Amino acid sequence: MSVTKRVLLAAPRGYCAGVDRAVEAVERALEHHGAPIYVRKEIVHNRFVVETLSERGAIFVDETDEVPEGARVVFSAHGVSPAVHAEAAARNLATIDATCPLVTKVHKEAVRFARRDMDILLIGHDGHEEVEGTAGEAPEHVQLVDGPDAVDSVTVRDPENVVWLSQTTLSVDEVMETVRRLRERFPALQDPPSDDICYATQNRQVAVKKIAPRVDVMIVVGSANSSNSVRLVEVALEAGAGAAYRVDRVRELQDEWLEGAATVGVTSGASVPEILVREVIERLDALGFSDVEEVRTATEDLMFSLPKELRADLKKAGKLQRGHRPELQVNAS
- Tell me which amino acid residue 296 is: R
Task: Tell me whether residue 175 or residue 198 sits nearer to ligand SF4 (CB atom).
Answer: 198
Q: Can you give the binding site for ligand SF4, defined by CB under 6 A? A: 16-19, 77, 100, 102-103, 168-169, 198, 200-201, 228, 270
Least distance to ligand SF4 from the beta carbon of 114, Å?
21
- Describe the crossing of helices 227-238 and 199-211 by its angle, rounded to 10 degrees: 30
Task: Tell me whether residue 228 or residue 263 sits nearer to ligand SF4 (CB atom).
Answer: 228
CB 168 within 8 A of CB 109: no
Q: What Cα–Cα distance (Å) separates residue 293 from each residue in 13, 156, 242, 308?
A: 14, 50, 19, 40
Least distance to ligand SF4 from the beta carbon of 241, Å?
22
Q: Which residue of the chain is nearest ligand SF4 when measured via CB?
A: 18
- Residues with Cβ within 8 Å of 108's Cβ and at least 6 positions away in sequence, in order, are none
Q: Which of 109, 130, 132, 137 is catalytic?
A: 130
Q: What Cα–Cα distance (Å) separates residue 236 from each residue in 102, 244, 261, 285, 298?
A: 25, 7, 16, 22, 17
In the residue annotation, 130 being an active-site residue is answered as: yes
Least distance to ligand SF4 from the beta carbon of 103, Å?
5
Helix (H, G, I), strand (E, B) or coil at 239: coil
Helix (H, G, I), strand (E, B) or coil at 215: coil
Least distance to ligand SF4 from the beta carbon of 130, Å?
8
Bridge-based pairing of strands 244-247 and 162-166 is unpaired
Please identify every residue annotated as catalytic.
130
